[in-house]
Amino acid sequence: MSKFIAYRCSLCGTEYLPGQVTYTCPKDGGNLDVELDYETIQRKYQPEDITSRLDFSLWRYEPLLPVGIPKGDATPLHLAGWTPVFRLPRLAQKLGLKHLWLKDESRNPSASFKDRASAILVARAQEINAEVVVTASTGNAGAALACMAAAVGQKAIIFAPKSAPPAKVAQLLIFGAKVILVDGTYDDAFDLTVKAADEFGWYCRNTGYNPFTAEGKKTAAFEIWEWWIEAHRDWHQEGSQLDNHAPLSIFVSVGDGNIISGIHKGFKDLLRLGWISNLPRIIGVQAEGSAAIANAFRAGTEVITPVSATTLADSISVDLPRDGVRAVRAARETGGTYITVPDDEIIRAIAELGRMGIFAEPAGATAYAGLVRAAGTGLVGPDDPILVLNTGSGLKDIRAAMKAVVEAPIIKPTLGAVKKIL
């Protein structure tokens, strides 16, 4: 029997059988949560059954996923997830912190966090025999879909705003997707994608619209859970009393809201199974020019009022977040909060992470920029354990990266010219 037993509307709580709906709640348009057979999973599996697996990808968590592992030889679809966590001692010292790590999602096959969702979506498309998968994207979600689809020969169509960074458009084309550039915003592309999917019978991957996107993104929470178990062991070996520390604080950049809500869902799954006793503190970070979810959180409401998004962090530039309600809850229900940062601080964050050997795109650096603000205002304390999520590679947006550095000088090919520069 499938582990996937129902959908539940995040707004009205109505439950639907898997075959009754596909995308959002017919009653109120609310995002649907995928309900698994938690009782059966709990009876059949223990944490050690997961952590002892030798599959070092998101598919090690197949017992906790609503789709099965795709058949066939190893492909990029089988390699998404299981990204590394690095210590950042120099940045920790600069910020007055003792325990700082970064999880680097740029190590995914298409170099962004979005591979997690796309791997699950393509697996789902294969299960339901979808001929075409379509999505709207500023670049990363589309590149992830194009990459995962190419790995298994799945047809993919991407609608992207014409302003998408050229490097991201190049990925879409190289992976063989049908790419259509829209003379408008991401939100325009999103709406057009939904209409096209309805008209032509395509399977729509849109973030914050298809319930399976959060199921892919929740796998990051499972990896953080495993890593945190090891961190506990390491600290105990060092003689540190970890139990006396505050809960782990996770800094996540937020655009549509689906990454932060997916991570929240992953930890809620673990809590429901009894595999953790409490939730980590999840802190969302938005660009000041695209802060619809942060605005709602600060107002104490779940009503998401659209903004006219203006930020160089294209991956989180969204007028109307499609997963805003669950994104607000991710912070509120975990004792977290929302922080907003201006573009100039995002640019500085790119440079600071770069000097640590981490090349982050603007959206990825936004999470670290939020931590800088949090540390400066006392929102996090020196003893708090902190994990920052870098959601994508800086190679995705070279134009933004060049704003963070001084251009290299051009010299004559002589030793004298070198000495003059030095």
Phi, psi values for residue 218, rounded to 5°: -65, -20
307 touches 291 (CB < 8 A): yes
Kindly state the DSSP code that residue 112 receives in the 8-state scheme: B
Q: How many CB atoms lie within 10 A of CB 174?
A: 12
Residues facing 283 on adjacent strands: 251
Classify 134 as helix, strand or coil: strand
Phi, psi values for residue 367, rounded to 5°: -65, -40
Q: What is the distance of C-alpha 134 from the center of its chain?
A: 19
Task: Give start and end residues of each alpha helix (H) in 24-107.
Answer: 38-44, 47-51, 89-95
Classify 356 as helix, strand or coil: coil
382 touches 96 (CB < 8 A): yes
- In which residue are the tokens 């540190």 written? 240
Residues in the chain: 422
158 touches 164 (CB < 8 A): no
Alpha carbon distance 346, 255 (integer Å): 14
To the question of pTM greater than 0.85 for the whole model, the response is: yes
Residues facing 9 on adjacent strands: 32
Single-letter amino acid code for the residue at 365: A
pLDDT of 5 reads: 96
pLDDT of 184 reads: 93
pLDDT of 249 reads: 98
Provide the Cα torsion 145, 368, 167, 408; round to 10°: -160
Query: Two tokens at 339?
Result: 């922080």
Handedness of CA 249, 392, 79, 176 (dihedral sign): positive
pLDDT of 234 reads: 66
CA distances from 174 to 110, 144, 150, 171, 177 (A): 11, 12, 10, 5, 8
Residue 402's region, left for phi above 0, alpha for psi from -120 to 50, else beta, is alpha
Alpha carbon distance 52, 123 (integer Å): 24
Alpha carbon distance 140, 120 (integer Å): 15
Classify 140 as helix, strand or coil: helix
| Cα Rg of the chain (Å, integer) | 21
Handedness of CA 415, 419, 421, 422 (dihedral sign): positive
pLDDT per residue, tens digit, the chain (422 aa), is 479 999 999 999 999 999 999 999 999 999 999 999 999 999 999 999 999 999 999 999 999 999 999 887 778 899 999 999 999 999 999 999 999 999 999 999 999 999 999 999 999 999 999 999 999 998 889 999 999 999 999 999 999 999 888 888 999 999 999 999 999 998 999 999 999 999 999 999 999 999 999 999 999 999 999 999 988 776 655 555 445 668 999 999 999 999 999 999 999 999 999 999 999 999 999 999 999 999 999 999 999 999 999 999 999 999 999 999 999 999 999 999 999 999 999 999 999 999 999 999 999 999 999 999 999 999 999 999 999 999 999 999 888 899 999 999 999 999 999 999 99
Residues 6+ apart with CB under 8 A from 102: 85, 86, 88, 353, 356, 358, 368, 387, 388, 389, 390
